[in-house]
A and B are shown apart, each in its own frame.
Chain A
Amino acid sequence: MSNDVAVLGVGMHPWGKWGKPFTEYGVVAARAALADAGVAWTDVDLVVGGETVRNGYGGYVAGATFAQALGWNGARVATSYAACATGAQALDTARARILAGLSEVALVVGADTTPKGFLAPNAGERWDDPDWLRFRLLGMTNPAYFALYARRRMDLYGATQEDFARVKVKNARHGLANPNARYRKEVSAEDVLASAVVADPLHLLDICATSDGAAAVIIASPDYATRHGLDSPVRINAISTVTPTFPNTVLDMPNLSTDAHGGVEPERTFKESIAHAAYEEAGIGPDDVSLAEVYDLSTALELDWIEDLALCKRGEAEALLRAGDTTLGGRIPVNPSGGLACFGEAVPAQALAQVCEVTWQLRGQAEGRQVEGARVGITANQGLFGHGSSVILSR
């Protein structure tokens, strides 16, 4: 039996920095998705919200907050939090109820409004919280973790700061015509290399910003989609939200250390296992993929993801990049939306934004950034505390 669900509609509120209530962004995205689906709000019987942790009680119960803002319609609600994978986990929750026959049409929404500058831990002394201790004892910021991964690529695979800049140039160009992107401006390699070094070897323009934004997805069973008049809707074939397996031997944010590997490296790293589980579930391999939307918290991290998704062998992502394979028009375009480089990160919305982009690509509606003949798309991200996700969609 297929575990596919149909994507009836997608919608977003553009990414930016306005500091308005997250609910406003969420409702705009939800209404856009409902309009795209041609589904009435009163027909939705499940709302799953992506929790935002910086917006008080309303953020903790985001599912109910969005349902109330849209007008109570009696739908069941749920709220998910899984750091950067929040949107995918919310989508997975909705999918489970639909596949179980417990819900018919689900609205999944993530929205955030974010503070300026570094993402710092919550106030107060917490000597048993690694997310607090990494700042207190080491001054270890998020960009410093990204920089560790970037430096490893340089020392092990011969990556250069010019390669990292090349990723930014590519993604900036991809996002130029994307109406939902926050940054729509060409960036040159010189611009990247001339920007301040934040954490060696990464420059300011190698690192993604934090943004406001919202994304929403409407899903239903394939039967419902047929009754709704959709002949060949985009389908979600897999949603991987696996956690790490012991021992987790790659240093992950916000940890100060890894597990002991006991002399034997595990078969797959955590990030590799996220993608592997998605491919297994979908019965689709990396060779079938037309495009990928990956979490480029830093430019260098996009290169890691290309390998984690098995789109090339370990250490070969720079060669792909330099050959133009990951650029629109290339063999396997990566981040045709412009990625986090053009959006900035709106945590609970970001994994859903990836699903929105892949949906538009598979429908041939990604104006100005269309991957020609796109059939299969994959998303990937990883967040704090063992969270990560990968979603595979096809048409």
Chain B
Amino acid sequence: MSARPAIDGWFTTGEAPALLGSRCTTCATTYFPPTPTDRAGFCRNPACGGEEFATVELSRRGQVWSYTDAQYQPPPPYVSRTDPYEPFALAAVELDEGITVLGQVADGYGVGDLKVGAEVELVVETLNRADDGDDLLIWRWKPVTELGEEADQ
């Protein structure tokens, strides 16, 4: 039994995981999700005809743009990891690159731990278990607790 990303090429795993973006080699605009590598990709800047992209790691930290949670089980193709279903939180996070990226919030954290503008960092956790027994991994946003705050909680 092992673990693999739920989707190929969107993020790295390991010690310091990061989202993978595509940077247009013509106009330097960065995109997430990355442009596909197995077929043609086109820059979406209307003033650019670029078709070549470099894969880049995006900032591992960002500021919360907004947040919510899913108190009811979402419909398929969402697959709940637990039975019965356990609600989870979601956050949209603005990265230094100027891209806002949605993600689930790390296990153990809810909307009460979040605030618009608060700092979060990217972690990789298990989304659900595949039919072959592998854990499917996904990126998540984890609130950053500043030194000193921890003692107050």
Contact = CB atoms under 8 A, between A and B. Distances in A.
Q: In the complex, which range does the number of interface residues on chain B fall in?
A: 35 or more
Given A140-B102, A251-B92, A257-B100, A135 B33 contact: no
A199 B99 CA distance: 23
Contacts of A152: 65-66, 116
Interface string A133-166: 1111111110010011111100110000000000
Contacts of A18: none
Interface string A62-101: 0000000000000000000000000000000000000000
A258 interface: yes
Given A137-B7, A148-B66, A155-B116, A249 B98 contact: yes
A367 interface: no
Nearest to A128: B36
B116 A139 contact: no
A231 interface: no
A169 B102 CA distance: 32
Given A151-B66, A199-B68, A137 B116 contact: no
A262 interface: yes
Contacts of A262: 29, 98
B71 A198 contact: yes
Contacts of A245: 46
Contacts, number: 125
B99 A257 contact: yes
Given A152-B65, A246-B45, A260-B30, A134 B70 contact: no
A141 B100 contact: no
A258 B100 contact: yes
A199 B70 contact: yes
A315 B52 CA distance: 41
Contacts of A260: 29-31, 97-99
B103 A138 contact: yes
Interface of A: 117-118, 120-121, 125, 127-128, 132-141, 144, 147-152, 155-156, 196-202, 245-247, 249, 251, 255-263
Given A139-B88, A140-B74, A151-B111, 16 more contacts: A118-B74, A132-B77, A133-B7, A141-B74, A148-B66, A151-B67, A197-B71, A198-B71, A199-B70, A199-B71, A202-B68, A251-B92, A257-B102, A259-B44, A259-B99, A260-B31
